[in-house]
Structure 1
Amino acid sequence: MKVFTRSQSGFSLVEIMITLALGLLITGAIIQVLVSNSLTERLNRSLASTQESGRFIITRLRNEFLMAGLYDVLDPALNTDQDIVLESAFVTNHPVILPGDFAVFNDVGSAQGAEGANDKVAIALQAQTDCRGYKLGYTADEEFFVVNEYFVDGKVLKCRGFDGRVLRGQKVAVEHDGHSPTIILDEVESFQVQYGYTNNLITGDNSGRPVSYVTADQLPAILADNGQVVAIRIAVLLKGDAEVSLNSVPSFKLLNETAISPSDKRLFKLFETTITLRNAKNLMRSRKI
């Protein structure tokens, strides 16, 4: 009687080790792709956030600064409780407010930050609301003398608005007496401002073109010498909101300031623009040498 035996076969140890090694390589490659995709997604999100924030803040500041020095005594919506002729002269000659321009809140005004610190800028205009959207006691359809001040608190760009007549001591604040600021934009690493001024005696004409750009601390002497601010140049350095870690962050030079290198190894982007104050420029064009 013959007995048949069935031979059994399987993977050898070498084959198993090779399979495991290939599996580890494939798994590692998949993980690397996933990590790379995650980093790319966060980088794209950070870049998109800075681009969106940059476009927003440049557009908003441009739209608001363009109105600096605006005052129309013939506007039927203008509140006439005060002498609008004298008020018009003040606003048109002070499109950019400096500390000390008002008896009340004499710290309100444009200021140069010390040693690269953030700057502050304040403008005067006729408007329906202040930069926070407040009517400050005026009726819905009325326009009034507004002073808007923009500054950075920590890493947040804020603005606060004032009734110019309250600042001049002509009336008592009846709404939002605390002048609490409102947030415009987060993740602001640096905010710098320069002012383009003209002087008809220097230009030799009534073109109103800027002859130079200076900082806020230089403006008092320029204005005392019959100069006038006709443009505002701003630079804003923004940080992306996504958690992206970079090996190195480049240096950024904002206007006249020394180049800075942020300590946080995140994505940063610089935005700059120059805004012509058309109301102030037209005023200088109408003056004779």
Structure 2
Amino acid sequence: MKGLHATRLISAQRSQGFTLVEVMIALALGAVISLAVIQVMISNSVTERLNRALTSVQENGRFGMLRLQQDVLLSGRYDPLSADLNRSVDIAEEDFFVRQHPVVLVNEFSSRAALGITNGADGSNDRLVVVGQHNVDCRGYHLGYATGEEFPVVNEYFVAEGTLKCRGFDLRVLRGLRTAVGHNNHAAYSLLDGVESFQILYGIDALNNGRVSQYVTADNVLVSEQVIAIRIGMLLKSTDAINVNNTQSFAVLNEAPILPESSHVYRQFENTILLRNMKYYVEGGLL
């Protein structure tokens, strides 16, 4: 009987289950573990978004700078000996004109007087306009020439609604030497989004020795043939807002510092590009 009673007692104790204290402890531990797991997941998600934003901004910046560099390097280029050059105009006179206009100043062309390099007021975006011999404009258009045929191109770069854009012109059309044909509607093409600031400085050779005397803004460029270098500065932001606290300000070239107001990722890019054609012309006394 004693053995049977003891067995029933143990069975009764086992059927009671967990105590309230044990349940509360288990729930508390479960909540702590769940919160830790959720926190890790949130942290990983934020880190992933931040890394994606950083990568995107870096890639966009490199692309934008490379795209501009490829065009600016050829500013002032004119090769009258090129077998691909269209020779429907006076080549010698055009060669001299392009050398003297690696960049376009405002009021250079009566047909489009507003076209030219400009300095944005109070830190607003600048406008870059360069001239060189190519077989397409900055949008990839032949402007009525045969495929592969070269002609003097005027490419304009500017920012509208946070997007870097470009449009191309046939220099001969601007000078009244040719009738506009092909894609001469001058529609602007988008190159790069998220541009917060686009600033340009021009390296001037005031002594005609092939060296930059000083860097000036567009409104201080009096003679375009003296420009032998161009310095480009851009401030880009990520497409999506990230939960970051921007406390660093950015001074793009000679402009006042900018403190970002949004939670996007921001990166600054700068590049100084030597206009090799203009440098060699100046050093050789050809201007």
The Cα of 1:75 is off from its aligned counterpart by: 0.9
Of 137, 150, 171, 1:143 maps to: 150
**Tell me, what secondary structure is at the counterpart of 2:139?**
coil
**Tell me, what secondary structure is at the counterpart of 2:111?**
coil
- Residue in 2 that maps onto 1:209: 211
Q: Residue type of the partner of 2:154?
A: V
Q: Which runs of 4+ in 1 moved over 2 A?
A: 1-6
Aligned ranges for residues 152-167 of structure 1 at < 5 Å? 152-167=159-174
Change (3 A) 1:31 1:230: same
Change (3 A) 1:186 1:200: same
Of 235, 238, 241, 1:240 maps to: 238
Q: Provide Cα deviations, 1:26-80, integer angstroms capped at 9, x if missing partner.
A: 0000000000000000000000001111111111111111000000111111111
CA distance, structure 2, for counterparts of residue 158 and residue 249 of structure 1: 29
Q: How many residues align?
A: 280
- Residue in 2 that maps onto 1:46: 53
- Residue in 1 that maps onto 2:81: 74
Contact 1:69 1:94 in 2 (8 A): yes
**Tell me, what secondary structure is at the counterpart of 2:252?**
coil
Q: Residue type of the partner of 1:78?
A: L
Q: Looking at CA atoms only, which structure, 1 or 2, has the larger radius of gyration? A: 2
The Cα of 1:261 is off from its aligned counterpart by: 1.1
Aligned ranges for residues 1-289 of structure 1 at < 5 Å? 4=5, 5=8, 6-7=11-12, 8-200=15-207, 206=209, 208-220=210-222, 223=223, 228-287=226-285
The Cα of 1:248 is off from its aligned counterpart by: 2.7
Q: Residue type of the partner of 1:75?
A: S
**Tell me, what secondary structure is at the counterpart of 2:68?**
helix
CA distance, structure 2, for counterparts of residue 229 and residue 185 of structure 1: 26
CA distance, structure 2, for counterparts of residue 176 and residue 147 of structure 1: 14
CA distance, structure 2, for counterparts of residue 112 and residue 233 of structure 1: 13
Where does structure 1 lack aligned partners over 5 or more consecutive residues?
none
**Tell me, what secondary structure is at the counterpart of 2:166?**
strand
CA distance, structure 1, for counterparts of residue 212 and residue 79 of structure 2: 24
CA distance, structure 2, for counterparts of residue 150 and residue 18 of structure 1: 66
Contact 2:131 2:154 in 1 (8 A): yes
The Cα of 1:249 is off from its aligned counterpart by: 3.8
Give the alignment's TM-score, normalised by structure 2: 0.94
**Tell me, what secondary structure is at the counterpart of 1:53?**
helix
CA distance, structure 2, for counterparts of residue 57 and residue 141 of structure 1: 25
CA distance, structure 1, for counterparts of residue 161 and residue 260 of structure 2: 14
CA distance, structure 1, for counterparts of residue 23 and residue 261 of structure 2: 50
CA distance, structure 1, for counterparts of residue 118 and residue 226 of structure 2: 16
Contact 1:249 1:261 in 2 (8 A): yes
Q: Provide Cα deviations, 1:79-100, integer angstroms capped at 9, x if missing partner.
A: 1111111111110111011111
**Tell me, what secondary structure is at the counterpart of 1:80?**
coil
